[in-house]
Amino acid sequence: MKRTSFRMTWAHWVSLFGAWTLLSVFFAPELYLFFVYRKENIGWGHALILSLANTAIAAVLVPAVVWLALRFPLGRNTWKKALAVHAPACLVFSVVHSSLYAALCFASPAFHLLFSRFHPNLLTYWAVVGFVEAFRYFRAYSERERTLANMQLELMRAQLQPHFLFNTLHTISSMMHEDVALADRMINRLSELLRMTVDRIGRHEAALSEEMDFVRGYFEIEQVRFGDHIRLEAAATPEALAALAPSMVLQPLVENSIRHGFRAHGLGGVIRIDAFASARRLVVRVTDDGAGPRAFARAGGMGIPNVRARLSQLYGEAHTFTLERVEPHGFLAQFEIPLRGAMPEDAGEPQYASSHR
């Protein structure tokens, strides 16, 4: 449980004091009427003093209750323990409060109040616990909202691939001076890729077929830019192609293979994407026959850690992600997620109510 840190300023103390005083004033008529019905007119002033005493005792005891409520939350896994603490604590609170109240008011005709205040005090205890719980839920909720918003932003930035985008524009700017037709072709490839990006922007998942198209477009541009002797092969079953896959996972894996498996070592070879469905799971594999995992670990790129983070954010325990060496040389990255079809109404988070063209 995360500790809630909070520093009291003088403004907090003043408002706290004001709130407790208001509460006393609020409950004074109740006390007054209580005595009136008992045919004992104690007067408004006396009633207010009693009420002040009542809340003052509570003001001293309530922080302890707040502390207990923070310490023992009524969560799904913690409620038993919490109840075991709160049940005796509420009795103690009520008895202590009632006795202190009776003792303070001993001189007054209100000695018998010991018992009359017992039940309302039990309610007070649980009201405080309820308030703390509500506050906790509110906190957790806004925290979650913030995380989600951040994830969304990060995803959008990743999807735009600024580094790739500006590098490709630079390639085109260089090509224009030498080979207009090739530059033209590159602009078209890049536009296709951007169109796909805009379609998917902010969506955490998309059909695997879309992801594959994106990777192919990306790969083609890389080929023209670097003239690497790398081939991309893909084999996917129709079921896998129609399944929902996380966006921004396949492309970074292929990019890693290109950069660290081949290019950093001046090697050429084959990158293979395999995707199939097995036992209600979608399995996607990226294999290369490049330099292998040592090169990956050494290079310390952000690709693999980002993929890992995205998979666990999206699927938690329900995914696996493995990296291994391929004999005689090469690298295999594989992820498995629950198989879900990319139905139109199920197509990730409906960021845009997209009409399918």
Q: Does 12 bind other proteins (CB under 8 A)?
A: no
Q: Give me the least distance between CB of 262 and other proteins, in Å please.
A: 9
CA 315, 318, 350 angle in degrees (round to 5)?
Answer: 35
d(CA 105, CA 180) in angstroms, rounded, equals: 97
222 versus 336: smaller Cβ distance to other proteins: 222
Q: Is 238 exposed, middle or buried (0-12, 13-18, 19+ CB in 10 A)?
A: exposed
**Beta-bridge mates of residue 281:** 278, 338
Q: Does 225 bind other proteins (CB under 8 A)?
A: yes
Nearest alpha-carbon partner for 201 in 158, 145, 171: 158
Which H/E stretch holds residue 180? helix 180-200
Name residues contacting other proteins, limited to 294-323 (CB under 8 A).
Answer: 299-300
174 versus 322: smaller Cβ distance to other proteins: 174
Amino acid making up residue 347 = A
Q: Give me the least distance between CB of 165 and other proteins, in Å please.
A: 8
Name residues contacting other proteins, limited to 38-77 (CB under 8 A).
Answer: none
**One of 227, 238, 316, 328 touching other proteins (CB under 8 A):** 227
48 versus 182: smaller Cβ distance to other proteins: 182
**Beta-bridge mates of residue 320:** 336
Q: Give me the least distance between CB of 224 and other proteins, in Å please.
A: 9
**Both tokens assigned to 193:** 């890729």
Name residues contacting other proteins, limited to 159-218 (CB under 8 A).
Answer: 162-163, 165-167, 169-175, 177-178
CA 238, 239, 245 angle in degrees (round to 5)?
Answer: 105
Among 41-49, 115-123, 187-195, 220-228, the segment contacting other proteins (CB under 8 A): 220-228
d(CA 256, CA 127) in angstroms, rounded, equals: 56
**Which residue carries 């399944």 as its tokens?**
243
Q: Give me the least distance between CB of 225 and other proteins, in Å please.
A: 6
235 versus 302: smaller Cβ distance to other proteins: 302
Q: Give me the least distance between CB of 332 and other proteins, in Å please.
A: 20
d(CA 17, CA 347) in angstroms, rounded, equals: 53
Name residues contacting other proteins, limited to 256-275 (CB under 8 A).
Answer: 259-260, 263-265
Q: Which residues of the chain form contacts with other proteins (CB under 8 A)?
A: 162-163, 165-167, 169-175, 177-178, 225-227, 259-260, 263-265, 299-300
